[in-house]
Structure 1
């Protein structure tokens, strides 16, 4: 090979290499969550969602340089939307549970107690309703957020008390802690709802401010609530949709289609891994409570019907209030109830019927 041909070959190789380098792109993306990684949804975002995005982009010329900002480092719990709105983060976990006004339609599970205990069914149902009912997706879009999917939530809520419970009548005059919307699950039952949260439950019960709590098993075990409220009654309030993975919509629309597709597919991976991880954690929570001396029982179907029937129709009130604001509250409620019935769920009360 002549020197000139070698020179031309080397020059061509360098040009091709430079062309590849020029085509390659690195995107800086910050993910945000107010909770720390000890919470499963944040752990799964870090350990499942991000690697899934990277894997989906392996055959492209695009790589992402991730910055993970969790546990209040960038935003407190409930402040994730503002962080994305301000451009401080591009992708994040947003809990619709903490946005009952802005993301009202997403809170349908919290106004329909005694739904399904099946986490996968509840989360996939509400997730899918975002495609069935455009107004649900529009609520995110109005906040300049793109709902990617990855619906996450909480397992079947139960009742923990300082006294045994076999019927709703046992609650008469008892003070029961409950988180925000779950206070409605105690209306007209004879119990006195006391608003609280995970940071106050143990001390409230220990000091007598409350005599029990409505809570989900994984949180109960972690907070060792069985030490002060050893009677654990599986009432069957149902699993709850709490939020999903979203991106700043303006930023998202500026991205290459490969990046958009990678983010959406990774949200599906997140959802599957989250639900599998949650099942394992729930099983571990019950074992830990039992080992700690908890007495675990299950409320009868008849008593569940009695309890559900005693409540005012908070779901219908919620739906009509949203209808009056121009939102499809009744459609969301009816659709959700119908999906549960189609899945074979036996409902002690159909909240879509007045």
Structure 2
């Protein structure tokens, strides 16, 4: 009888404990987010301050069944700039920002805007056009999957201008000058008499300070973070156009193993990341140009006639680029026409029709 009573009491205690326990155990998912750039740059800052906390917030609001435990590795501490797609694809990190501008070999079609400059300064329009093309043109979307990635959201940078250590009033002032330009942006000074110097946001300041170059083609938000205006105080607003520069991506194998609810949240927050980035980048660019001017930079705007002259001075870089892709079995012509048509549908008036000449 005593044993029976003890068994009954134990069963009652277990039942009570079960009633107090949650209906389901919370699943903890451990993810590492990384980027080659530090969070002073907005595309990383928004991953850190919007994407990650927003995913956490939405998962909690959905009942807290899943929780992500994040490890952050910014500024090249885990994956170096230009190696993000490999690092994330190989699983060194799970998620991060992939700078397609520095990985042209893997993402050739994503660089279309850099071969069709003088388009539009509308960041949102460029982002939407490229995002839509990555869905409608299979080869563009496949560039991500072939690298073992799932694309979550994109980012176009604010319009590129030129920062120089000398006054710039016309294309003629570039003759004999050394200008640092990232990747394909070197094409923007071809046939102008200037010499292109390779570099990136992490090298611009020292390049100009040491005399390796006399200026740099870049964008306001990047220039501010790199303090370019301190060594190149002449800021000439040329408006080479907003440029698609990369996207937020996650390791495909890791993503496929995530619960469907978590996948859904990440896709939704990734889409919102694109929208928020465009709005924040536009506002930041205007504000930072003003701050540079207040700090002593001499900000001027190239005349529309001189801007058109600059665009017309360049060789047919877009058609050459598209032809090279066609020779490699990629739809270069389709991508170029799609981009130009997309800009016009968005209301832009490019200074040159790159698909025509």
Confirm or deny a common fold (TM above 0.5): yes
Counterparts of residues 101-140 of structure 1 (less than 5 Å): 101-140=105-144
Q: What is the Cα deviation at residue 114 of structure 1?
A: 0.5
Aligned to 2:52: 50
Q: What is the Cα deviation at residue 271 of structure 1?
A: 2.0
> What TM-score do you get using the length of structure 1 for normalisation?
0.90
Aligned to 1:287: 290
Question: Structure 1's 210 and 68: CA in aligned 2 closer, same or farther, altered over 3 A?
Answer: closer
Deviation per CA, 1:270-324, whole angstroms, max 9, x where unpaired? 2233223323321232122211222211112221111111111111111111111
Question: Structure 1's 25 and 197: CA in aligned 2 closer, same or farther, altered over 3 A?
Answer: closer
Kept after mapping to 1: 8 A contact 2:41/2:222? no
Give yes or no for the alignment of 1:330 onto 2:333. yes
In 1, the alpha carbon distance for the partners of 2:232 and 2:76 equals 30
Aligned to 2:100: 96
Matched residue count: 350
Q: What is the Cα deviation at residue 207 of structure 1?
A: 4.5
Give yes or no for the alignment of 1:253 onto 2:256. yes
Counterparts of residues 332-347 of structure 1 (less than 5 Å): 332-347=335-350
Give yes or no for the alignment of 1:299 onto 2:306. no
Deviation per CA, 1:23-63, whole angstroms, max 9, x where unpaired? x3221111121222222111111111012212222224222
Q: What is the Cα deviation at residue 5 of structure 1?
A: 11
Kept after mapping to 1: 8 A contact 2:160/2:219? yes
In 1, the alpha carbon distance for the partners of 2:123 and 2:66 equals 35
Give yes or no for the alignment of 1:147 onto 2:163. no
Aligned to 2:38: 36
Runs of 5+ unmatched residues, structure 1: none
Deviation per CA, 1:200-232, whole angstroms, max 9, x where unpaired? 434443454433221211232344433433321
Counterparts of residues 5-16 of structure 1 (less than 5 Å): 11-12=14-15, 14-15=17-18
In 2, the alpha carbon distance for the partners of 1:203 and 1:93 equals 25
Kept after mapping to 2: 8 A contact 1:40/1:278? yes
What secondary structure sits across from 1:92 in the alignment?
strand
Aligned to 2:73: 69
Kept after mapping to 2: 8 A contact 1:316/1:351? yes
What secondary structure sits across from 2:24 in the alignment?
helix
What secondary structure sits across from 1:57 in the alignment?
helix
In 1, the alpha carbon distance for the partners of 2:105 and 2:208 equals 30
Question: Structure 1's 78 and 229: CA in aligned 2 closer, same or farther, altered over 3 A?
Answer: closer
Aligned to 2:352: 349
Aligned to 1:321: 324
Kept after mapping to 1: 8 A contact 2:83/2:103? no
What secondary structure sits across from 2:217 in the alignment?
strand
In 2, the alpha carbon distance for the partners of 1:232 and 1:19 equals 60
Question: Structure 1's 256 and 196: CA in aligned 2 closer, same or farther, altered over 3 A?
Answer: closer
Q: Which moved more, 1:204-213 or 1:71-80?
A: 204-213
Q: What is the Cα deviation at residue 154 of structure 1?
A: 1.8
Question: Structure 1's 330 and 13: CA in aligned 2 closer, same or farther, altered over 3 A?
Answer: farther
Question: Structure 1's 5 and 275: CA in aligned 2 closer, same or farther, altered over 3 A?
Answer: farther
In 2, the alpha carbon distance for the partners of 1:200 and 1:275 equals 25
Q: Tell me how large the CA RMSD over aligned residues is.
A: 2.4
